[in-house]
Amino acid sequence: MTAEIPTKMPAAPKRVLIILLGAIGDVVRALPLLGRIRRAWPQAHIAWAVEPKSKPMIEGHRWLDQLIVYDRRYAPWSFAPFLGQVRAGHFDLVVDLQRHLKSGIIDLVSGARDRLGFAAANTKEFNHRFTTRQIKPQPAMRLKLMQYQAFADALGAPPAPIEFGLSLPPEEDARARAMVAGARRPLVGVILGSSWPSRIYFPESVAAVIRELARPAAGSAPLYPVLIGAAEEAAIGDAVMRNLDGLEVLNLVGRTRLRDLIGIFSECAVAFGPDSGPMHLAASVGVPCVIAFSAHGLPGVWYPAGRKHQIIYHQPECFGCGLETCIVMEKKCMTSVTVDEMEQAADRVLGPLPQVLK
């Protein structure tokens, strides 16, 4: 049973722990919640339990006081020391956004008297049994960003604009922007990778979209492509380069840190690629995105922040499989997304009218 939620906290918490360990996109979409908590209780000490892959997004964030890092590469040996740090935080409020057994254990070990989590219908592995109260059940297709905002509502935090508070210190910002300083404007950020192989758009198709966007169009300037990807996506970047027929691009694959993307995307007019953490980061700094959407199912819950994005998807017979690696239909959900659709969608996001293609 979902616990009754008071409209206001009985007292302002002094020490708050947010638990959201993993995906970069999820951490980015939880930042507006962090902002509302900070505005509600400006004197509170706010900590965030996170894993190394998402740590750069919130390290040094102006709304955050502390990071508690769980490095699961060394699990199970790293879990006990991590729990020790959580316990030593003496938190009086825990906000569990992770919704599974691991975060439930963190809730319990924290010793916090007030532990707020998702309702049973929205959790896994009996997570709701570790929290002292739960938010109202969330509709399955509600935007994840708005699901996180429901925690602020439950805590009685005043309404606030959706803001992410992402910025770089001057030296870091200058370094990031210097990477694209010599590139002709306007820029298109080309995101190559994703944590799920089933989401990745084909290099040949990426190259074809780039060629189309780089051509002068009636009433608009050609877009200058900037390839963005981690070092492990170098093979994808090389394959894209081989299919560009000598077209000039700025290839930053393997040359950037995750935090650099805050400054780089801020220089872009548009970004395109698959559903990924960097795509959500681009949206959070105000860049309109064109997203080739794949196997999850209908894109509602994964839609990025903002309204001027284009999500392109089709529904083959295997649609909604939710597989991290396609083993059935040779990524039919992605082969059905055409180059023309991607190019036309980019034109739309640069214009006044948003639309979702189906």
The CATH number, out of the four listed (3.40.50.2300, 3.40.50.2000, 3.40.50.10860, 3.90.1300.10), of the domain defined by the range 170-349: 3.40.50.2000
C-alpha–C-alpha distance, residues 204 and 247, integer Å: 14
Structural contact between residues 311 and 283, judged by C-beta atoms closer than 8 angstroms: no
Mean pLDDT of the chain: 90
Q: Count of CB atoms within 10 A of residue 62's CB?
A: 9
pLDDT of 307:
75
Provide the pLDDT for residue 304: 85
Asked if pLDDT for residue 5 goes beyond 70, the answer is: no
What gap in Å lies between CA 119 and CA 136, rounded to an integer? 6
Quote the percentage of the chain above a pLDDT of 70.
91
Residue 71 pLDDT greater than 80, yes or no: yes
pLDDT of residue 356: 39
Residue 154 pLDDT more than 80?
A: yes
For the beta carbon of residue 180, count every other beta carbon within 10 angstroms. Answer: 21
Q: Which ranges in the chain are annotated with CATH 3.40.50.2000?
A: 15-154, 170-349
Predicted pLDDT of residue 199 = 86
pTM: 0.91
Q: Which of 45-54, 162-171, 298-307 has the lowest mean pLDDT?
A: 298-307
The residue-averaged pLDDT of 135-147 equals 93
Picking from 261-265, 271-275, 324-328, which range would have the lowest pLDDT averaged per residue?
324-328
| Residue 337 pLDDT > 50 | yes
The Cβ of residue 235 has, within 10 Å, a number of other Cβ atoms equal to 12
Q: Are the beta carbons of 44 and 63 closer than 8 angstroms? A: no
* Domain 15-154, architecture per CATH: 3-Layer(aba) Sandwich (3.40)
